[in-house]
Amino acid sequence: MELRQRLRQIRTLAVAAALVLLSPVGPLRCRSHDIDVVELTLLVGAQDKGAVCLDGSPAGYHLQTGSDTGSQNWIIHLQGGGWCSTVKGCSDRKMNEFGSSNFMKPQSFSGILSNDQQINPGNTNAGTICHPVYIVVQGFLDNSVFPLFHLSRFYNWNRVYVRYCDGASFAGDSQLEDQSGSKLFFRGERIWEAVIDELMEKGLAESKQVVVLQIKELCHVVLYVCLPAFQALLTGCSAGGLATLLHCDNFRARFPPNILVKCLPDAGFFLDKGLIRAKVHVVCIQWSCPPSECHESFTQGLSHIQGSNRELMKSIKTPTFVLNSAYDSWQIRNVVAPDGSYSDSSWLSCKADIRNCNPAQIQVLHGFRNTMVDELKSVEENMGWGWFIDSCFTHCQTVYDISWNSPVSPRLGNKTVSEAVGDWYFGNQQEVEEREVDCEFPCNPTCSSRLPNTAAA
């Protein structure tokens, strides 16, 4: 009994000492569960850098600074919003948030960007390179090891939402005039570079390795405490998910090799079927190629605007987690069965709600799903890669609380999206593989009709 009491006393002292050391403002404290509404930050010197939206207004982002054990960690989220593939379509965007920062409002942070620990827990083994965190009590009971606590989860990281206003997944670099003679700026690549450069100056570049502190003469024992390491995650939804794939290795290259950096494209796994014509137009506009050279420039520009998913993903060296629905609602409406592609009006009902699809239509959708699963085989050998391919009729699952982590979140392998991503990001990739592919629709009972399915890509 006396021995157990002494063990409890030592552990209490150890936890208290570690809490004070690990928190930059004192002991860890409870956080508000209120939804974050974060103001827009316009890029400094955007015009001088050419980092402007389609209308020439400065690009911007929303930054919620991290706290406590998450203050050294960063999530960069790239907003989605589809491509504009014609001059008129891009010009029309100048009158909304997808082409001008003049229309951008404060942004609510939810899902993977939420400050609510219950909604956004990450993984219970999160925190440091030497996770889970332990205190080693040296000189007492033969160097006893006590599990301490888990340091950092996504909810208290530095969280950034980068606004999308270039029309081509942060990838173009040209300008031209629209039908009215006004200039259109296609500067997605410059926006990407300028935003990341500015965030590096705000702390993204302040990478830190794990530090082990030795605290002597505390109850005649020596305590070793692991401090959190710097970690970064690049993610994005839809067109932002594609941008995540395009810029993943560039993002990784900005940090020393010892820093944990990974990528999470959400609903960014676009199949080539039905998109070839759109890609040709996007490449021609975004790189100002003459119409006669359009197809040649398209071929040369595939590495910039997706091209083949198979080849793009095979080229990525950074650990990546592919999150996608095999029955992605946006792709079904715009790639599998775009308006005018079928004379049968029943497709309108099918595209509105997959439960309305007839058996023949379901077979078409199964074919789309099977193609996506086959494409994933190209990265089966990639170290550190994972995926979560569910069969829900939805689009984008990281940015909504209901999809990310709620009672009606999709589940695969008895894990929600949040749990699967957390286990992949923080887990030991040598021991755990997070690779789940759902069965064909309508097999998964956790696919709720309440999941969002109208988000623009």
Give the tokens for residue 26.
């004192």
Q: Which tokens go with 452? A: 């969002």
Q: Exposed, middle or buried, 328 (CB in 10 Å: 0-12/13-18/19+)?
A: buried
Instruction: Indicate which residue of 166, 328, 390, 438 is catalytic.
Output: 328
Residue whose tokens read 């029955």:
327
Nearest to 186 by CA among 120, 99, 111: 99
395 is catalytic: yes
Say how far apart CA 429 and CA 232 lie, in whole Å: 16
173, 286 in Cβ contact below 8 A?
yes
Residue 328 among the catalytic residues: yes
| Cα–Cα distance list, 80 to 100, 162, 238, 243, 403 (Å) | 14, 9, 5, 9, 17
Q: How many beta carbons lie within 10 A of that of residue 24, not counting itself?
A: 10
The residue annotated as part of the active site, out of 150, 247, 304, 395, is: 395
DSSP secondary structure of 335-397: IIS-TTS-S-THHHHHHH-GGG--HHHHHHHHHHHHHHHHHHGGGTT-TT-EEEEE--S-S--
Q: Tokens 């290795």, residue? A: 249
Catalytic residue among 67, 85, 100, 238: 238
Give per-residue burial for 165-197: e unless 16+ CB within 10 Å, then b.
Answer: bbbbbbbbbeeeeeeeeeebbbbbbbbbbbbbb
Write out the catalytic residue numbers. Answer: 238, 328, 395
